[in-house]
Chain A
Amino acid sequence: MGELMLDGNAVAGLLQEVFAVEMTTAVGTCASCGAAGPVGAVHVYRGAGIVLRCPHCDNVLAKIVKSDSRVWIDSTGIRTLEVTV
């Protein structure tokens, strides 16, 4: 499992494609443990979809599925996201 883990840097392009802003420096707060940290430091697992997990408590922060023309994001595990604009 550890071998397959990446970090938020690995989804930087996808997130910028969706949000049109650099997202790895955005600070997210975990809805489960309350830890806040940069998106670049979250744990990322890639399979059929992409799963973002909290580096502190392993809570699922978000799930992302991409097709050719759409991106689907479940961000239930993120309480807040602070983005510099």
Chain B
Amino acid sequence: MAGTALLGRLTWQLAELVEVVAETPRVKTLVFDVPGWPGHRAGQHVDVRLTAEDGYQAERSYSIASAPDETRVALTIQRLEDGEVSPYLTDELRPGDKIELRGPIGGYFVWEPSDGGPLMLVAGGSGIVPLMAMIRTRAATGNDAETRLLYSARSRDDLIYRDELERVNGNGLTVVYTLTDSQPPEWTSYARRVDARMLAEVAPRPAEQPRFFACGPTPFVEAVAEALVQLGHDARAIKTERFGPTGG
């Protein structure tokens, strides 16, 4: 679907918060109802705009976490202490409240069920969000593309969507965790930052021509992309999305 160009200017529209799900102590999923939502593809994002009483505006981009579902759009948002936007979204916004958003946006960091697999997803922290949209879209469409997720987080409590990932693990989807800072007792999986050796063990071989989607903080994504090229994977098959420090 490389040729999918969505013609039309982006317009801001009102979205009503309908549900809040606490994912981790610092992360919440906000489900919005967006009248007239045209649908989206896994990996796309929205821009959110907040306007203060004095007219000051702040804009941020957030990945869509949900599979396409009529006019519902779920955003999973990490609260950043010094953030300008995320503390308001995660602490102040209540069901029934409205915000402005526009989207869906993006087409490069996108997976369509018809693209097939094998699919190798590599997530650092809240970089799991657009990859979860891919996992959910795969499940919702009954797609059987062989999919592996390597998910790096600081600790078990920082794993977003942990219960859901446990449930969907299987049926061609393999979930592998690495916990970099602290591990629960009897932790048997990885306990270090993602490196070339780990990717060699978890990812399909280059001969299988996997499609890669890596998302996370910039240094994480850089390290993953470099390691994959070093392992002999085609750089053109590695799609990346970097989270910056200005995500707030």
User: For the complex, is B38 an interface residue (Cβ under 8 Å from A)?
Assistant: no
The reply to whether B240 and A12 contact each other, CB–CB distance below 8 Å, is no
The interface residues of chain B lying within 8 Å CB-to-CB of A39 are 108
Closest CB pairs A-B (n = 8): A40-B108, A24-B108, A25-B107, A22-B107, A13-B47, A84-B5, A12-B106, A20-B9
User: For the complex, is B2 an interface residue (Cβ under 8 Å from A)?
Assistant: yes
Q: How far is the CA of A3 from the CA of B241 in the complex (A)?
A: 13
Q: Pick the contact of B7: A6, A20, A24, A38 (CB < 8 A).
A: A20
Interface residues, chain B, CB within 8 Å of chain A?
A: 2-10, 45, 47, 61, 102-103, 105-109, 217-219, 222, 239-246
The reply to whether A13 and B10 contact each other, CB–CB distance below 8 Å, is yes
The interface residues of chain B lying within 8 Å CB-to-CB of A20 are 7-9
Measured CB to CB, the closest approach of chain B to A14, in angstroms, equals 9
Measured CB to CB, the closest approach of chain B to A1, in angstroms, equals 10
The reply to whether A25 and B45 contact each other, CB–CB distance below 8 Å, is no
The reply to whether A38 and B242 contact each other, CB–CB distance below 8 Å, is no
Q: Which of A1-15 contact B (CB under 8 A)?
A: 2-10, 12-13
User: For the complex, is A16 an interface residue (Cβ under 8 Å from B)?
Assistant: yes
Q: How far is the CA of A67 from the CA of B239 in the complex (A)?
A: 31
Interface residues, chain A, CB within 8 Å of chain B?
A: 2-10, 12-13, 16-17, 20-22, 24-25, 38-41, 46, 83-85
Q: How far is the CA of A17 from the CA of B9 in the complex (A)?
A: 6
> How many A-B pairs with Cβ below 8 Å?
91
Known: A9-B241, A13-B105. A21 touches B6 (CB 8 A): yes
Q: Pick the contact of A85: B7, B102, B217 (CB < 8 A).
A: B7
**Beta-carbon nearest neighbor of B7 in chain A:** A21
The reply to whether A25 and B108 contact each other, CB–CB distance below 8 Å, is yes
The interface residues of chain A lying within 8 Å CB-to-CB of B245 are 3-4
Q: Pick the contact of A17: B10, B61, B241, B243 (CB < 8 A).
A: B10
The reply to whether B61 and A24 contact each other, CB–CB distance below 8 Å, is no
The reply to whether A9 and B6 contact each other, CB–CB distance below 8 Å, is no
Known: A8-B108, A9-B108, A40-B106. A22 touches B244 (CB 8 A): no
The interface residues of chain B lying within 8 Å CB-to-CB of A9 are 45, 61, 106, 108-109, 241-242
**Beta-carbon nearest neighbor of A16 in chain B:** B10
Q: Pick the contact of B108: A5, A13, A38 (CB < 8 A).
A: A38
| Pairs A–B under 8 Å by Cβ, sample size 6 | A3-B245, A9-B61, A12-B107, A22-B106, A22-B107, A25-B2
Q: How far is the CA of A27 from the CA of B7 in the complex (A)?
A: 17
